[in-house]
Amino acid sequence: MDFFLFTTKTAIKNLLANKLRSFLTILGIIIGVASVIIIFAIGRSAQELILDQVRGIGSNLIAIIPGASDEKGPPAPAMGISITTLKYDDLLALKRKSNVPEVVDGAGYVMGTVTAEWRKESLNASLTGTTASYLNVENAQLAYGKFFQPQDDTNFSRIAVLGSQVAQDLFGYDINNQQMKNVLGRKIKINGKKFLVIGILAKRGSVAFGFSSQDDTIFIPLKTAQKIILGINHLGFIRLRIKDESMIASAKDHIKKTLRFCHHIDNSSDDDFSVRDQTSTLEMIGTITDVLRYFLLAVGSIALLVGGVGIMNIMLISVNQRIREIGLRKAIGARNSDVIIQFLLESVSIALVGGILGIILGLLTALIFSLVIEHLGYHWPFLISNWSIFIALIVSFMVGIVFGVYPARKAAQISPMEALRYE
């Protein structure tokens, strides 16, 4: 025990003797560990944000997406593949009680990006073409005005309902300002075409559908969006609200049978659609975000390797500068193992100090990031696992060991006679 205390004190003394060099070496580990902690915290928070967005819509929703895909994998549109097999007639068929008795309501969607203009104001916004049933399906609320009527779904009405942020950016009023009522009845241009503003949706914050915030979206009738703005005749996806979460399984079976009949499909292996409930959607999103998070962690870990290489380099320099010291210690009885332990303790001390400071820096950065995002109105919890901190310390310790072994062995191989003759 006395030996280790003496060796540790000697290691710390040697590190403090070269403060600048030790700090620059520790800096690499600080940055590496902080990067891992930040990525881990932000990754978990971003995952929770996305999952919270999906949960906020409701647990009794079923999404129908064009293109076949594995239940646990991402749908084709998420991979950038455009599939045009889902039609408005499919939505009508699925809303019939005779086909899907569990359904309460359903909405069809197409999406795009447009330029919206009012007088001299202009902005880029998300566009959603949808049906009059959107409010009921999405549990959305109006702040002012009204939403589309059923007849607007197909009569190419040039009317628009604005998300709260779009309305604020175009007209300059806060959503809670009663002046916002004056926006109703005004005409805006969407991709150069005039539309009458009939409603403004209540602010929904970070809860978003389709990962596009409702607040930043302009809503127009489905057929108007298809024909006048986007020039398409298919749907991006369909959402159905089911009576009760317990009916999800039977509803999915009825949906598949209905779509196979509509699409003239005899074999389930030939399905050109995917049916997803919220549970499977949450699992799929969790899987995708986990993969991305661990990939980012792997990238962040490269900084730790760089820090480890820095430790090895500085320890090799230290060996060359302390040849006479090593020779003297060996001449008075120090064994090779004593020298190895001495240099390993120094490298581990550097790595652990860097690891602790890196953890503190990473936690503070992640906390500040969380507070800023929360201030902007998003649900961004500060999430950090105790395991991640423990693992960061263990990894720092292992970096000190792994990258300190070679310099320590090289120091131990120095001959006392040669060392004492060294100038």
Q: What is the pLDDT of residues 370-400, one digit of tens each?
A: 888 777 766 677 777 777 788 778 888 888 8
Q: Do residues 261 and 300 both lie within one domain? A: no
Kindly give the parts of the chain with pLDDT less than 50: 206-211
- In-domain check, residue 65: no
Interatomic CA distance for residues 218 and 162, integer angstroms? 5
Q: Do residues 221 and 303 both lie within one domain? A: no
416 vs 110, 170, 234, 344, CA distance in Å? 80, 81, 83, 20
Which pair of tokens denotes residue 267?
A: 């074999």
- Residue-wise pLDDT for 11-62, tens only, equals 566 666 666 767 777 787 888 888 888 877 777 777 676 666 665 565 688 8
Q: Do residues 49 and 113 both lie within one domain? A: no
- In-domain check, residue 212: yes
Q: Do residues 227 and 128 both lie within one domain? A: yes
23 vs 282, 350, 399, CA distance in Å? 45, 9, 16
Q: Would you state the pLDDT for residue 151?
A: 93
Q: Do residues 290 and 194 both lie within one domain? A: no
Interatomic CA distance for residues 134 and 386, integer angstroms? 42
Total tally of structural domains belonging to the chain: 2
The pTM of the full predicted model, rounded to 2 decimals, is: 0.61
Q: Do residues 160 and 307 both lie within one domain? A: no
Q: Do residues 135 and 197 both lie within one domain? A: yes
Residue 415 belongs to what H/E stretch?
none
Domain boundary among 271, 294, 321: 271
Which pair of tokens denotes residue 242?
A: 């089911």
- In-domain check, residue 59: no
Q: Would you state the pLDDT for residue 58?
A: 58
- In-domain check, residue 278: no
Direct distance between the N- and C-terminal alpha carbons of the chain, in angstroms, rounded to an integer: 34
Domain boundary among 206, 239, 271: 271
Sign of CA dihedral 390, 391, 396, 401: positive
Q: Do residues 226 and 107 both lie within one domain? A: yes
Confirm if 222 and 108 have CB atoms less than 8 A apart: yes
Residue 91 belongs to what H/E stretch?
helix 88-95
Q: Would you state the pLDDT for residue 250?
A: 92
340 vs 330, 345, 395, CA distance in Å? 12, 9, 20
User: What domain range is 385 assigned to?
Assistant: 2-54+284-421
- In-domain check, residue 74: no
